[in-house]
Amino acid sequence: MPLETVIGTSLNYYLIAFDADGKECDGTQQVSQKVIDILSTQPITDVFLISHGWMGDISSAQKHYKEWIRTMADSHTDIEKIQQIRPEFHPLWIGLHWPSSPWSHEGLKAVVSYDITDNSQQQMIDDYAQSIADTEVTREALRVIFTAAIEYKSAPDTLPLEVSQAYEVLLKEASLISDEEDADGWSQTELLNLDPETVYQNILLEDTQDFSFGFTDTVKSAWDSFLGLPRLVSFWKMKDRARRIGETSGFNFLKKLQQTAAKTVRFHLMGHSFGCIFASATVAGNKQNNALVRPVNSLVLVQGALSLWSFSAKIPYKNNLVGYFHSIIAQRKVAGAIITTQSKHDSAVKLAYPVAGKLGLFAGQNIDTDVSSPPLPNVGGIGNYGIQGTDLDIINIDMLPLQYSYNFQPQKIYNLESSQYIYDPQANFVMGSHCVIDKPEIAHAVWSAVLSS
């Protein structure tokens, strides 16, 4: 597993995996040391750190990275341009894996029968608890929900009292972030503030609206309906995990690479979906540990599932809180350009992200999907609206076809309207084109960002 070969190209990459606590997984410590050795002995000029998004186990991360790197390698014109400007160009590719699959797929998709065994129910309770809050209180609340899901043949019109109370317990347990973990105020800028009955009513509507936030095909039973909120909470917790591992383990790894590399080596970070949180957190660090050796050279956020206000000096709707990643801007941690993509065909960011984020559809908010048209919403993803806010040098442009050149400038933010390219007419309604990121036009923009500093 240390060295991953990208078939059909001359490129390889190193895969480094972190566990849920941010520790390097068994066997990958040697990989990170190998990368350090390469940086100290080989003429590397550019280091690329890439991060996958939600629902990614190691095998899916490997598939994701190989497809992305293959697309980058196929951009021969862009690579030749870089080599003309920098004849010594010699990249090192590193894929960073963080566990972002919050539950057992088999457990969620299994058909539930009334003779479900105690062992199988307990296993699913344990799976959910680990992704929400690994406490006995959480397990008891989940047991109430699972029991009700089995007892009710069909979803009732309103939540039973015992299920509603169990929901409240889950929300409370999931929101308990220690002072150390929340030192930078993540819980203030990324609130978990869902009303159980409102969530439930909207889940019931999914059956007629043919939309299920990526968790089920249709909502037909009490089982699917009652488990809707725990699944949303798991979604929210994975956002928190991306942030937490990125700003600690990711940051420490990046800093170690910078300390080892020559001063001329450039660093580029790329993230997709929740991986944009991981990549941003890796650059930002946390309040106690945030000083990089030098700024990174580019940051690319493809269909980012993080708040459009994340980089803003002030967050509207929230008493003018500072965006969680504003330090990246204020401390000039990116020497080159910050690039984001938006696509109106990305259902996951357009619809599911606002729901799990806090308000979105559940609050009945009328979200304008035109990134150029104010007012902008309280909750929305960068993959839909781009980076927005105050004290930011933002340029909104269309993603360009391959025959045209970008002129990305240092320390500017470019929101690329990419609907023409991030689009798959065969994509399902739930995810839309969220994962359509292996397009040559995207690679063209990424390579152009490499030359921005």
> How buried is 416 (Cβ within 10 angstroms: 0-12 exposed, 13-18 middle, 19+ buried)?
buried
pLDDT band, residue 111 (cuts 50/70/90): very low
Q: What is the spatial distance between Cα 221 and Cα 150, in angstroms, rounded to a whole number?
A: 10
**Beta strand ranges found along 343-450 (DSSP E):** 394-398, 413-417
Closest among 435, 413, 431 to 422, alpha carbons compared? 435
Q: What is the spatial distance between Cα 15 and Cα 94, in angstroms, rounded to a whole number?
A: 6
Q: What is the spatial distance between Cα 81 and Cα 159, in angstroms, rounded to a whole number?
A: 61
Report, in this order, helix, strand and coil percent for the chain, each rounded to 5.
Answer: 40, 15, 45
pLDDT above 90: residue 335: yes
Which residues lie below 8 Å from residue 332, measured CB to CB, with a gap of 6+? 295, 411
The stretch 372-401 carries a mean pLDDT of 88
Domain 3-101+240-451: assigned CATH number: 3.40.50
Residues in the chain: 453
Cα angle 370, 449, 283 (rounded to 5 degrees) comes to 90
The stretch 219-229 carries a mean pLDDT of 70
Give the count of beta carbons closer than 10 Å to the beta carbon of residue 210. 11
CA–CA distances in Å: residue 24 to residues 83, 365, 371: 34, 41, 39
- For the chain, the straight-line distance linking the first and the last C-alpha, in angstroms and rounded, comes to 33
Give the count of beta carbons closer than 10 Å to the beta carbon of residue 330. 13
Q: Which of 41-55, 66-80, 356-370 has the lowest mean pLDDT?
A: 356-370
The answer to whether the beta carbons of residues 368 and 387 sit under 8 Å apart is no
Instruction: Please write the tens of the pLDDT for every residue from 140-173.
Output: 999 999 999 888 888 898 999 999 999 989 888 8
Which residues lie below 8 Å from residue 69, measured CB to CB, with a gap of 6+? 6, 9, 11, 13, 50, 93
The pLDDT, as a whole number, for residue 150 is 87
pLDDT above 90: residue 177: no
CA dihedral angle for residue 153, residue 359, residue 275, residue 402, rounded to 10 degrees? 110
The answer to whether the beta carbons of residues 12 and 42 sit under 8 Å apart is no
| Residue 369 one-letter amino acid | T
Instruction: Please write the tens of the pLDDT for every residue from 417-447.
Output: 999 999 988 876 657 888 888 999 999 999 9
Instruction: Please write the tens of the pLDDT for every residue from 81-109.
Output: 999 999 999 999 999 999 887 554 433 33
CA dihedral angle for residue 33, residue 35, residue 37, residue 41, rounded to 10 degrees? 180
| Residue 430 one-letter amino acid | V
Give the count of beta carbons closer than 10 Å to the beta carbon of residue 57. 14
The answer to whether the beta carbons of residues 203 and 216 sit under 8 Å apart is no
As a whole number, the mean pLDDT across the chain is 82
Q: What is the spatial distance between Cα 47 and Cα 297, in angstroms, rounded to a whole number?
A: 10
pLDDT above 80: residue 224: no
CA–CA distances in Å: residue 216 to residues 123, 143, 435, 437: 19, 20, 18, 24
Q: What phi and psi, each to the nearest 5 degrees, are found at residue 164? A: -60, -45
